[in-house]
Structure 1
Amino acid sequence: MTDLSNFEITRKWPAQHPERLQLYSLPTPNGVKVSILLEELGWPYEAHLVNFQSNDQLSPAFLSLNPNNKIPAILDPQGPGGQPLALFESGAILWYLAEKSSQFLPTDPAQRYETLQWLMFQMGGVGPMFGQLGFFHKFAGKDYEDKRPRDRYVAESRRLLGVLEQRVQGRAWIMGDLYTVADIAIWPWVRNLFGFYEAGDLVGQADFPEVARVLAAFVARPAVQRGLNIPARP
């Protein structure tokens, strides 16, 4: 039987199935990227809720796996060479799982790098900018009298949506007919911007019909519908 007892995180979140990949997460736009990919792969895995309300992400156990105290993180008992691998950062996890499975990545080397390019576009642009807009529009930032910070992120979010609108024109997915980890990274954030952040009107959602088309196709996937709710909130 696989032994994960050397990993401190398993003392706070015991592995009931240590032979399975262990996911430590929360159903946020970053967190669900990994649960969606795992659902698409159909692999057995064990999901552990990292509860921000009780500051689980700041616990010594979680920090032992991810010193940056962010979700998601994984512990794969069957990593490279058959040895356990601990990994954090959602983009790195997506790429690792896609390469390990040989799925959701193009086989052509040039197209693989193009997919990585769009994954980095989400990590460096879409996620941070949409997240800041969410803060200034829905959360504490909405009470600031000075609306210039909010308007800055509105403008940048519209610009990024425009980039996506142009990219998916005439395409089923970011990379054309092939559904990849770039889609799994990007579309949860678009869904959150229009839905949970309630910023659709603010960014002019109606101006991006191609984005809406691909988002609808993404959300309709059964694996996406499952992954959006993993781990289950208390």
Structure 2
Amino acid sequence: MTAKFVAIAIQDNPNGWGPSDVPEQFKDMPYQPFSKGDRLGKVSDWTGATYQDRRYAIKYQSTFGSMQQYAYYHEEDESTFQHVYKTNVPKPLYQRGRYMRNQRNLKNQRNQKGQQMQVLGKGNKREYLCGSLEYYDKAYDRVTVKNEKKLTRINRIFHKVTTTDDPVIRQLTKTEDSNVYATDAILSTIMCCTRSSNSWDVVVQKIAGKLFFDKRDDSEF
């Protein structure tokens, strides 16, 4: 028994190239390229290329591109093309002192001094500092692990006198009109008392309308 040959219907398009009719099973169906290597991450991608993370954008990207058949391609119009005139500007030759042009007047600017305050008459003294300042060895500022500096013992007497027992403050209370008195140790402790590891207290006394900040005899100031 021989096989029966069935002739295939060939569509002839006399006005162009290719078939003129679309098969019924493919009618009204847009063409979309498909590859078996593409990952099917979702049923339909309604957002397009809106992935913020590049890993997911590459993971679900099509091999043939996404919606390339609907992309708009603008054809270049070469009739409006114009040449741009461009010439190469020669670089200047090496000049001596070219990096010092903006620093010529730098020396004169450093010697300029600002306007000084003019003192008119004699001012009233409002503050007094009593004491003495001795020599300080700056080698202690450069002390490191490799550069050691031994501490030397000095026999000195530290006067830890309180405010009411200070002879200078007693003299000032008779001649000055101030109403608040304190020593430098007590005043610095009050200014730095945001956090104290050692306990201390200050005694405030009011004598003849004036305030005296004193310390106790056994306190650590």
TM over 0.5: no
Q: Which has the larger radius of gyration?
A: 2
More helix by share: 1
Q: RCO greater where, 1 or 2, for CA within 8 Å and sep 6 or more? A: 1
Give the TM bin, normalised by the shorter chain.
under 0.3
